[in-house]
Amino acid sequence: MGRIVLEKVVKRFGETEVIPPLDLTIEEGEFAVFVGPSGCGKSTLLRLIAGLEDATEGKVIIDDEDVTQVSPSKRGLAMVFQSYALYPHMTVRKNIAFPMRMAGVPEAEQEEKIAAAANSLNLTDYLDRKPGQLSGGQRQRVAIGRAIVRNPSAFLFDEPLSNLDAALRVGMRLEISEMHKKMQTTMIYVTHDQVEAMTMADKIVVLQAGVIEQVGSPLELYHKPRNKFVAGFIGSPKMNLIDGAEAKKHGAATIGIRPEHIAVSTKANKGAWKGTVGVAEHLGSDTFIHIHGIEGCDPITVRAGGDLEVKHGDTVYLSPDPALIHKFDDAGLRI
Amino acid sequence: MAIVAQSTKFGTYGRPILAWAVAILFFFPIFWLVLTSFKTDADAVKPEFLFFFTPTLDNYANMTENYDYWRFATNSIITSVLATAVALIVGIPAAYAMAFDPSRHTKDILMWMLSTKMLPAAAVLYPMTFLAKGIGIYDTHFVIILVLTLVNLPIVIWMLFTYFKEIPKDIIEAAQMDGINTWGEIKEILIPLAWGGIAATALLTFIFCWNEAYWTVRLTTTEASTLSALIEGNRAPEGLFFGRLSAVSAAAVGPIVVLGWFCQKQLVRGLSFGAVK
């Protein structure tokens, strides 16, 4: 249960076409992540699947059933919102029970499921509190609990971790991934954070201006980005995109090289490119060096070992790994 | 720095003095009304500010014996309560629809509703009177309730609309995902979350209904007359009896002042902060 297919789906708000005709299949049990810069239509796409927006054209199919005209509640999906969207006037217990109460689940069974969900989400001690008395992380757990108890055919997450602080975000990311491994239910997750996309997804859907730029596994996207946009969007720090003479040497309009695929040396004349260190960010495990003076890309970012001691103004020599250079044509497509 | 010091000084002395001055300005007429109601008619017309006099309860006794105060009071309660209730029953779904499922005409509809408040009541006096008489509802509770509801509905919908607008749409959508129907949305989510705003709206509507004089005087004669009509009726043909008039007025505004006093917290909160945050 939980195979979701979008067929030629179009969404327009008045005259503005937010999503041009789009086809997408999310397989049963898959963890799909929609990722893209803000305003790329990823949330709209999720809301189309949820039924909170009507598709202007095309079909939304869940488990071989056309649900384009079906109301959100009848699609068998559960959604977790960025703002948590808990019912502020109800206790945690009542919040979690709400969808079951709506579905007419017997009370004994409700209690059982609440207890199980609370247990797995560490919420047992907070069942009688109201959402206002909980921390952000706890609220997000309640929202997840409310989604779990419905046994949905798929979970929809709309930037669920954006309101949490960095440390909590990493923790919740793991929890959601583990939940997926355990439940094997289809999950669709919207985020603008490519790290979340890379770490959680089975399948990443990269969107820009409502158009799917590429669909694939995290490593596929990392190793074989279809175009410059995906190349620049996936990977952290971003891929260096170099235009001009240097690119021409490789027979391309633009070449891309990831920061981790460039060797850096302070020894004179050891390397293809010569530059000057602008900022060196020492993270301990790694050093991110931003280097100026290389034609076609300024600054170029290099990821070096944590031990490398360079400072502002130092001259360095760079050697990109020739096997890992990505080439793009005039239209920005991969060659 | 200077600005901070100045504002602090103003905050400490200026603001309370200003607040008291405004409060006294507003309260004095009420105070004078109540004071006059305990004076004899002879005392009441004396031109000087008479603070010390021999108080009398005659005006109040006269009011209940000769004017049947309780009948007017009952009419006021019936019409105000029912008109408020009907306005809310119509207004809540209307405001809900406009707040959460707006169409491109929603703004126009809201403006149009507000524009009806700009129409002088006198402009529709004759059609309303003839209509009421023609269909046989003149001087009934029904016509008063109908008119009070219609007169207040624009304000009710506007107020509720602004309160409902403050409820995050996500919460309504979450409820939709959870399988709620439209009636459930209103009952389980909207009303509990906007309770403060709904109470403030109800209270204000009730006060408006209670104080309404234009229509209650003109569309009733005896049966459905309210307290405001009673005050109007005390402009006796023999002249103005200020003591008596004051007693009737005090007895008419009394209930609403008491109600307002007890609900002021709710009223201020509802009017200034809105529903949820």
Q: Which residue of A has its CA nearest to B178?
A: A99
Model confidence over B258-277: pLDDT tens digits? 888 888 877 776 666 543 43
Partner B contacted by A13 (CB < 8 A): no
Contact A71 B193 (CB under 8 A): no
CB contact under 8 A, B170 and A85: yes
Residue B192 at interface with chain A, using a CB cutoff of 8 Å: yes
Contacts of A85 in chain B (CB under 8 A): 168, 170-171, 173-174
Q: Is A21 on the interface with B (CB under 8 A)?
A: no
Taking an 8 Å cut-off on Cβ atoms, the answer to whether A85 and B193 are in contact is no
Work out whether the CA dihedral B214, B215, B218, B220 comes out positive or negative. Answer: negative
Q: Tell me, what's the pLDDT at B239?
A: 61
| β-pair partners for A264 | A318
- The shortest C-alpha distance from B194 to chain A (Å) reads 10
Contact A102/B180, CB-based, under 8 Å?
yes
Per-residue pLDDT, averaged over B4-21, amounts to 79
CA distance A156 to A49: 9
Model ipTM value: 0.85
CA–CA separation, B271 and B155 (whole Å): 13
Q: Which residues contact A103 (CB under 8 A, 6 or more apart)?
A: A150, B179
Which of A82, A87, A99 is closest, CB to CB, to B179?
A: A99
Cβ atoms of residues B214 and B121 within 8 Å: yes
Whether the upstream peptide bond of residue A299 has omega within 30° of 0, thus cis, is: yes
- CB pair distance less than 8 Å for A73 and B179: yes
Cβ–Cβ below 8 Å for A98 and B176? no
Q: How far apart, in whole angstroms, are the C-alpha atoms of residue A235 and residue A99?
A: 39
State the pLDDT at residue B231: 84
Nearest Cα residue to B242 out of B106, B53, B4, B77: B53
Q: Of A52, A56, A60, which Cα lies nearest the Cα of A24?
A: A60
Is the CB of residue B101 less than 8 Å away from at least one CB of chain A? no
Residues 6+ apart with CB under 8 A from B261: none
pTM for this predicted structure? 0.82
Residues 128-157 of chain A with CB under 8 A from chain B are 146, 150
Across the interface, of A71, A85, A103, the residue whose CB is closest to B174 is A85
Chain B residues with CB-CB distance to A87 below 8 A: 171, 174-175, 188-189
Residue among A246, A63, A273 nearest A153 (CA) = A63
Whether B277 has its CB under 8 Å from any CB of chain A: the answer is no
Q: How far apart are CA A13 and CA A280, in angstroms?
A: 45
Cis omega before residue A225 (within 30°)? no
In the 3-class helix/strand/coil scheme, how is chain A assigned residue by residue? CCCEEEEEEEEEECCEEEEEEEEEEECCCCEEEEECCCCCCHHHHHHHHHCCCCCCEEEEEECCEECCCCCHHHCCEEEECCCCCCCCCCCHHHHHHHHHHHHCCCHHHHHHHHHHHHHHCCCHHHCCCCHHHCCHHHHHHHHHHHHHCCCCCEEEEECCCCCCCHHHHHHHHHHHHHHHHHHCCEEEEEECCHHHHHHHCCEEEEEECCEEEEEECHHHHHHCCCEHHHHHHCCCCCCEEEECHHHHHCCCCEEEECHHHEEEECCCCCCCEEEEEEEEEECCCEEEEEEECCCCCCCEEEEEECCCCCCCCCEEEEEECHHHCEEECCCCEEC
Shortest Cα–Cα distance, B93 to chain A (Å): 20
Nearest to A287 by CA among A307, A315, A317, A265: A307
Task: Name the nearest CA neighbour of B171 among A79, A46, A169, A117.
Answer: A79
CA of A157: which chain B residue's CA is closest?
Answer: B174
Interface membership of A52 toward B (CB under 8 Å): yes
- Count of beta carbons in the 10 Å neighbourhood of residue B175: 23
Q: Do B177 and A78 touch (CB under 8 A)?
A: yes
Retrieve residue B53's tokens: 């006099």
Q: How far apart are CA A93 and CA A110, in angstroms?
A: 10
Per-residue pLDDT of chain A (335 residues; tens, 9 = 90+): 789 999 999 999 888 899 999 999 999 999 999 999 988 999 999 999 999 999 999 999 999 999 999 999 899 999 999 999 999 999 999 999 999 999 999 999 999 999 999 998 889 999 999 999 999 889 999 999 999 998 899 999 999 998 888 888 898 899 999 999 999 999 999 999 989 999 999 999 999 999 999 999 999 999 999 999 999 999 989 999 998 888 888 889 999 999 999 999 888 777 788 899 999 999 999 999 999 988 877 789 999 988 888 889 999 999 999 999 999 999 999 98
CB A84 within 8 Å of CB B174: no
SS3 state at B117: coil
Would you call A16 an interface residue with chain B, using a CB distance cutoff of 8 Å?
Answer: no
Compute the mean pLDDT over every residue in chain B, rounded to the nearest whole number.
86
Contact B175 A87 (CB under 8 A): yes
- Contact in structure between A303 and A259 (CB atoms under 8 Å): yes
Residue range B161-206, pLDDT digits in tens: 999 998 999 999 999 999 999 899 999 999 999 888 898 899 999 9
Smallest Cβ distance to B173: which of A52, A74, A78?
Answer: A52
Using DSSP bridges, classify how beta strands A300-305 and A286-292 pair: parallel, antiparallel or unpaired. antiparallel
A333 and B CB contact within 8 Å: no
